[in-house]
Amino acid sequence: MAQPTLYPKKTIVQGVLALLFLTLNLCFAQAAELPLVRIAYGAFNEKILALWLGREQGFFRKHGVNVELIAIRTGGQTVAALASGDVQMAFTIPGSVLSAVAGGIDVAFFGGIVNRADGDFVVAPSIRRAEDLKGKKLGVQSIGGGVWSLSMLALEQLGLEPTRDKITLLVLGDQAVLTQAMATGRIDAAYLGYTFSALLKEKGFPVLLDIGRAPIPYQGLALAARRSYLKQNPQVVDSILRGVLESVAFIQNPIHKEVVVRSLAKNLRLTNAKDAESGYEVLQWLYSLDIRPNVKGIQNMQRLLAMTNPKVAGVKLEDVVYEAAVERIQQSAFYDELVNRSKR
């Protein structure tokens, strides 16, 4: 009977390492072959999670694209990066796109990820009613951005007008900065997403208006790109939408709650994962697999932004919305399967 050939341990280890090296090289080569899509975003709240998690869970790579996420201070700057070609896509709000189109840039929304208003209008403990805000300080991230837009809509709902009621707007920074400014008394009011709002509510800061429950037509964060890019790269665009939709479905599946909460806490730089649970609960109703842009919401934002930029009033809706990509996705077997799976 033939005896089995015995190989030295050193030879076996070398063989295993060589195989591992080849496998890693193959993985890197495959990743390098995928088209790179840089996506800029200016917001800093739970609503960005569809992008963060899509990258962490490999949903974008699964559908054939390598995504790099780039945090930029404001929505206006994200569109500027888009116009310059530094990024291929932006996750931004209508104000930025409307202003860009009014300025002659061929930018358009192609996927509405957050198609409704949300968040809290938080005030200092000394403020009990809307009238108490007169003569006070309101913090925003930028003029014309998402925080500003929702703040102005909240004031409208409360019957207030900044100029008439002598409400001073202070441009401070993102929602983490605004939360800190509220806690230290630097400002008297701020719009905050539910995750950051919950941190202040625990400290006794009241919510004057839950914007998510107010009857406000609104288009929140949506994916945008240059129209020329959308027409020239339909497969890449579809891959991005597929990755986002898989991420949304993953977030809304209760099985994945622990993973989702942990990711949200990490990306929002929260020291306690439990602080992210309010944001997780919000995303269960805020996200949707129906990612068609909210036309009435965009029109409402156009009305609001025209107060600061009259050129925006003349922008046509068809110039800011590119519907072909969503139509392709919603007519696909992939979309049907994803929707059916979410109903089980």
DSSP 207-225: EEEEGGGS------SEEEE
| pLDDT in the model for residue 24 | 47
Contact (Cβ atoms closer than 8 angstroms) between residue 161 and residue 155: yes
Q: What is the pLDDT of residues 167-211, one digit of tens each?
A: 999 999 999 999 999 999 999 999 999 999 999 999 999 999 999
Q: Hey, which residues does 190 pair with through a beta bridge? A: 122, 139
Q: What six digits make up the tokens of 159? A: 């019957």
Within 69-189, where are the H helices? Answer: 75-84, 94-102, 146-157, 175-184
DSSP annotation of 123: E
Q: What is the CA radius of gyration of the chain?
A: 23
98 CB contacts (<8 Å, ≥6 apart)?
298, 301, 302, 305, 309, 312, 315, 320
| pLDDT in the model for residue 25 | 52
| pLDDT in the model for residue 80 | 84
In Å, how far from its chain's centre is CA 214? 21
| pLDDT in the model for residue 342 | 83
| pLDDT in the model for residue 199 | 93
| pLDDT in the model for residue 10 | 52
Q: What six digits make up the tokens of 80? A: 């500027």
- Kindly list the structural domains of the chain, giving each domain's residue range(s) and its CATH number in brackets, ordered by start: 34-116+218-342 (3.40.190.10), 120-213 (3.40.190.10)
> Residue 316: how many CB atoms within 10 A of its CB?
8
d(CA 186, CA 171) in angstroms, rounded, equals: 12
| pLDDT in the model for residue 8 | 56
d(CA 103, CA 250) in angstroms, rounded, equals: 38
| pLDDT in the model for residue 32 | 56
In the β-sheet with 189-192, what is the strand arrangement from edge to edge? 168-171, 137-140, 189-192, 120-123, 207-210
| pLDDT in the model for residue 13 | 47
Q: Extract the residue ranges of the chain whose pLDDT is less than 50.
A: 1-2, 4, 7, 12-13, 16-17, 20, 23-24, 26-31
Residue 336 buriedness (CB in 10 A; 0-12 / 13-18 / 19+) = exposed
Instruction: Give the residue from 38, 33, 35 showing the smallest Cα distance to 68.
Output: 38
Instruction: Give the residue from 220, 246, 227, 221 showing the smallest Cα distance to 67.
Output: 246
Q: What six digits make up the tokens of 93? A: 């709000």
